[in-house]
Amino acid sequence: MIELEGVPELVDPVMICAFEGWNDAGDSASAAVGHLDREFKGEVFAALDAEDYYDFQVNRPTVFLEDGVRKITWPTTRLSYARIQDSNGKGKARDLVLVRGIEPSMRWRSYCNELLGFAHELGVEMVVLLGALLGDTPHTRPVPVSGVTSDADLAETMDLEETRYEGPTGIVGVLQEACTHAGVPTVSLWAAVPHYVSQPPNPKATLALLNRLEDLIDVRIPLGELPEDARAWQLGVDQLAAEDSEVQEYVQSLEEARDTAELPEASGEAIAREFERYLRRRDGGPGQAGPYFRDPGPSTSEKDEGRESDEDE
């Protein structure tokens, strides 16, 4: 029985999910949902029962002191909602339901069904799953972000790829399949993180996920200090790579492979789509893109989710 007392009626809600662990290289995806939660002042309204889904020898609880009293924080998944004002501050554009937690240790199907129950009760119109995988991509180039879906119609209307991946999967893949069977439109966005610098955080990958998400759900996302953090991260990795000739040579080989890769033919439809995107960002329009312009850069999506997963393995 799901009770949502205190949650207001949401406007065109989108559920955005990220899970720490196997699906979250560099903590990039969970950091993206955390950023949304902070920037949009999300309000937590539910948490799943840790006893049902977590092995506490794998994900241990932590002890902390609050006003001299010892308390325990249990590993769990929390849900919050965020209300988004439009560009004129006169109303709501689109609300978000944010799901952030640790990949569960057990009972994945029950876990997904519980999240789907919340989505149904809240009137969620689409679920967006964020993930990050390790790949052979140089840190000096734009972060590849692939958008995949199991829905052929959604792939066509939102310029996504139909997933063809076969192999081991995480909770993101299981939840996407559960949403598909439940008839909930679902998209997965995956960022490719350089495998040679996989330790968190990776603000550049987080920024790339948010940029792609902004276009997908047509909502302006305040970026705060994230662009500067991404630049500082890249400079730091540049310095570390410069101190090791083997790493430097390896990065150069990745750059050459990336730069000489076959680029997709620029069709008239693709050019028109990019021009509309530019106008929306410059002037503000549907989705409150706002009075700013950020160069979207070339499309760098990986063409095969399976290839990324193989590299991760």
What 3 state SS string does the chain have? Answer: CCCCCCCCCCCCCEEEEEEECCCEHHHHHHHHHHHHHHHCCCEEEEECCHHHHCCCCCCCCEEEEECCEEEEECCCEEEEEECCECCCCCCECCCEEEEEEECCCCCHHHHHHHHHHHHHHHCCCEEEEEEEEEECCCCCCCCCEEEEECCHHHHHHCCCEECCCCCCCCHHHHHHHHHHHCCCCEEEEEEEEEHHHCCCCCHHHHHHHHHHHHHHHCCCCCCCCHHHHHHHHHHHHHHHHHCCHHHHHHHHHHHHHHHCCCCCCCCHHHHHHHHHHHHHHHHCCCCCCCCCCCCCCCCCCCCCHHHHHHHHC
Unique residue bearing structure tokens 């949502």: 4
Residue 46, pLDDT > 90, answer yes
* Domains in the chain: ranges and CATH: 14-224 (3.40.50.10900)
Q: What is the pLDDT of residues 178-213, one digit of tens each?
A: 999 999 999 999 999 999 998 999 999 999 999 999
Confidence category of residue 159, pLDDT binned at 50, 70, 90: confident
- What whole-number distance in Å separates Cα of residue 21 and Cα of residue 126? 23
Q: What is the pLDDT of residues 56-82, one digit of tens each?
A: 999 999 999 988 999 999 999 999 999
For residues 30-36, give the mean pLDDT: 97
Residue 91, pLDDT > 50, answer no
Angle ∠(300,128,287) on CA atoms, nearest 5: 80
- What whole-number distance in Å separates Cα of residue 305 and Cα of residue 145? 10
Candidate from 99-113, 131-145, 293-307 with smallest mean pLDDT:
293-307
- What whole-number distance in Å separates Cα of residue 238 and Cα of residue 232? 10
For residues 118-130, give the mean pLDDT: 95
Residue 226, pLDDT > 90, answer yes
Residue 35, pLDDT > 90, answer yes
Of the candidates 26, 169, 11, 182, the one whose C-alpha atom is nearest the C-alpha of residue 93 is: 11
pLDDT in the model for residue 275: 53
- What whole-number distance in Å separates Cα of residue 220 and Cα of residue 277? 12
Q: What is the pLDDT of residues 239-260, one digit of tens each?
A: 999 998 888 999 989 988 888 8
